Amino acid sequence: MRNYLTKLLILFIPLALNSCANGAADGNWTHFRGSDLRAIASVDSVPVEWNEDVNISWKSPVHGRGWSSPVVYGNQVWLTTATPDGQDLFALCFDLNTGEKIYDINIFSFDEAIRKHDINSFASPTPAIEDGYVYVHFGSMGTACLSTKDGSVLWERTDLECNHVQGPGSSAFLYNDLLILHYEGVDVRFLVALDKNTGETVWKTHRQEEPYEAIPWIGTKAYVTPLLINVKGRDLIISNGSAIINAYDPNTGEEIWHIVRGAESTVSMPFEEDGVLYFETGFMVKERSSRFSEMWAVNPDGEGDISESNVLWTRNMAPMPLCTPVIVDGLIYTVDAGRIMRCIDAATGEDVWSHRLRSQYNSSPVYANGNIYFNSVRGETIVIEPGRELNIVSENKLDGEIWATPAFVRNSIIMRTDSHLYRIGG
């Protein structure tokens, strides 16, 4: 019965959340972790085995450096990149069928770049795309709307500022006629909704300041992408900062509820299944000797401070998780910062199984056609079958590094490495 219900959810969640631009059911991949932000791909068949010589439809070079994920609409694939010094920021477009580069557009140029962490890039936020338009976002460095028909810049914003310190990471997403952006620096922390047609601000909501007072200055930033969920007919934006997680009304920016849990530098975005919300903190320090993060399960139906009333369970994890887990049939799958692949029971928070890996897996896993795909910074992809026992279906390898979460469309995988864009299968 649970498998049947999960299949129904996979079919109907994109319909229920049709406020996000055109779902994966249309054969598109419009946001980070898919058209509904949940890393559940609507594909009938997708390769499980490949290498540089097998199952590669095309391979195209990508100049510069960037960890943004590819987004797909129609026959176009878009991503962002930057020069290594961060002084020039680009939007790139490739033909889905051939891999031919269609556009290479220098969106923003600077005399001096902002600071970033060594493992981050200046082009880490993933674009959002819909019919006719793509929205590229580089954090405080700028946001722009481009026509996918001719590559022209229709509007841009460079006045939304925050001190990222270690570079931007939060991706954009579309809700009805709004483009939702998340800024969380060491100086200011806010969400803003722009009119997607004009770029003008519709609403802007700052986080509470008090929860950040106990956190070291450098840890008050975050890199998370918000999640859109529906609770009893009401849409909510779930935004997980470094000190507090908030639920907002996406139409107005009004806060609905919050949970204060002091932690630093949150990266992993929230995820949800069967009406239960899950999120991870960044890292926490206990008595200066123990560093860890936490995973929480929460009932999202509430108002005000729900820290005590709505928490279902919490558990400790390795500090600083960089990938966002995927949840399938009541089981949570992730690779923690300690290189441990874990299957966690969503009802209890307890490990079902764990498996040590050799590499770091910072790209977020994706569920597609009965399997889960994990990608490493060494260019490896482990494909597993979900379940209460570990079953590795295949292990694959491409040249270079994989930091970006792949897109799954038209029975193929659009995979970005540090130097190339691939179409696997199709």
Strands (DSSP E) contained in 199-346 are 201-206, 227-231, 234-240, 244-248, 255-260, 271-273, 276-280, 284-286, 290-298, 304-305, 311-317, 326-328, 331-335, 340-345
Given this model, what pLDDT does residue 24 score?
57
Given this model, what pLDDT does residue 23 score?
55
pLDDT digits (tens, 9 = 90+) for 324-340: 999 999 999 999 989 99
Rg (CA), the chain: 20
Q: What CATH superfamily is the domain 2-425?
A: YVTN repeat-like/Quinoprotein amine dehydrogenase (2.130.10.10)
The token duo for 295 is 């995973």
Q: CB–CB of 120/131 below 8 Å?
A: no
Given this model, what pLDDT does residue 331 score?
98
The token duo for 256 is 């609905």
CA proximity to 330, closest of 38, 3, 8, 37: 3
Q: CB–CB of 337/319 below 8 Å?
A: yes
CA proximity to 416, closest of 363, 352, 358: 363
pLDDT digits (tens, 9 = 90+) for 152-183: 999 999 999 999 999 999 999 999 999 999 99
Q: CB–CB of 82/121 below 8 Å?
A: yes
The token duo for 176 is 């009805």
Task: Return the DSSP state at 2.
Answer: H
Given this model, what pLDDT does residue 25 score?
57
**Parts of the chain with a pLDDT under 50:** 1-19, 21-22
Given this model, what pLDDT does residue 112 score?
85
Rounded to an integer, what distance in angstroms lies between the CA atom of residue 399 and that of residue 402?
A: 9
Given this model, what pLDDT does residue 360 score?
94
The secondary structure of the chain in percent helix, strand, coil, rounded to multiples of 5, reads 5, 45, 50
What count of Cα atoms within 13 Å lies in the side-chain half-sphere of residue 112?
1
Start-to-end Cα distance in the chain: 32
Given this model, what pLDDT does residue 18 score?
47
Given this model, what pLDDT does residue 235 score?
98
